Amino acid sequence: MIRYQKLGYVELNVSDLARSREFYRDMVGLEYVGPHGATERFRCDPEEPYSVVLHQSSAPGFKRAGWILENAAQFAVLQDRLDSAGCPWEEIDAAECADRGFLRALRTVEKHTGATLEFYRPAAERTVRPVQATHTSFQRLGHVVFATPERAAAVAFFRDVLNFKESDSVGEYITFMRPFPSPWHHGIGIGRAARRQFHHLNLMVSEIDDIGKGLNRARRSGVPVVFGPGRHIASNSVFLYFLDPDETTLEYSFGMEEFPEMDPRAPRLLPPGPESLDSWGAVREPGMAEKGEVESAVIRATRNAAGARHD
């Protein structure tokens, strides 16, 4: 089975790179790493050189996400699982790996969500300094959520091919999953929608005060708050959802259930309805998860059923 460490980075498309740079630095409070080529990089994880990357695009939303594999042996397991599922994949070339700080990396597209997923091992020699403090104290990069009319098929792919474990579902509306053996309740969510779209990016804060401060900062700055503060029933996280300048949905959350690697509790099926999403009674506002395109990479090489490489 495939084994992971964690979600390493998320890359987003934005319509105005300079405007979004200021927003993610000054409003969200991510540490600004600086420009890298045509992109802007930010940090919230003390173990990683960057956590969020912004790209200029006419279609704001999700570009790609990277999952750190537990060790190099996981590449062979992952390739075998993708080949068995008939899912095209490609190696990221050495020049791009070096530019992005990878020892080795593989890219694929999950066809039911359209999401571009990358799996990698970090470069052996890299310097990672402590995260510089801002107005918000972050614990780590949290999770990504997608929505698709093919929710059940997407859940099956992440579970049966990529070895993500189901934690909980809310009716047939959304399923929360964690990359094994990560203890956190979820690193990804798959929701149901009429079309494929990016639902939101989550950032885990270190203190519950960061939720309240974020709420008041958003209000002072005229940033739309679209849900919360509240507490999720499934993960037990305290949350706050707000919109970035392109109306892509972001979430701060504090606290989360952790699962042991051995003998975790069984996933729950919570009843559909608002009462299964929030125990505090917050009202979801218009605009939440209404905008956010999903960019699908073009995979240039794959393997056939017999395992032979072809372009």
Residues 111 and 142 in one domain: no
- Whether residue 133 is contained in a domain is answered as no
Place of tokens 């008939």: 86
- Whether residue 61 is contained in a domain is answered as yes
Q: How much is the pLDDT for 175? A: 98
274-289 residue pLDDT tens: 889 999 999 999 999 9
Residues 107 and 212 in one domain: no
CATH assignment of the domain containing 249: 3.10.180.10
Domain residue limits at 36: 4-122
Residues 143 and 285 in one domain: yes
DSSP characters over 109-166:
EETTTTEEEEEEEE-SS---PPPPP-SS-EEEEEEEEEEETTHHHHHHHHHHTS-EEE
Q: Distance between CA atoms of 82 and 85, rounded to whole angstroms?
A: 5
Q: Distance between CA atoms of 255 and 235, rounded to whole angstroms?
A: 8
Place of tokens 């798959």: 190
Question: Which of 68, 91, 122 finishes a domain?
Answer: 122
Q: How much is the pLDDT for 311? A: 42
Q: Distance between CA atoms of 224 and 19, rounded to whole angstroms?
A: 16
Residues 79 and 159 in one domain: no
Residues 156 and 193 in one domain: yes
* pTM, 2 dp: 0.95
- Whether residue 309 is contained in a domain is answered as no
Other Cβ atoms less than 10 A from the Cβ of 232: the count is 25
Residues 78 and 160 in one domain: no
Reply yes or no on whether the pLDDT at 307 is more than 50. no
Residues 36 and 79 in one domain: yes
How many structural domains compose the chain?
Answer: 2
Residues 14 and 117 in one domain: yes
Residues 157 and 57 in one domain: no
Looking at residues 285-305, what average pLDDT do you find?
A: 85
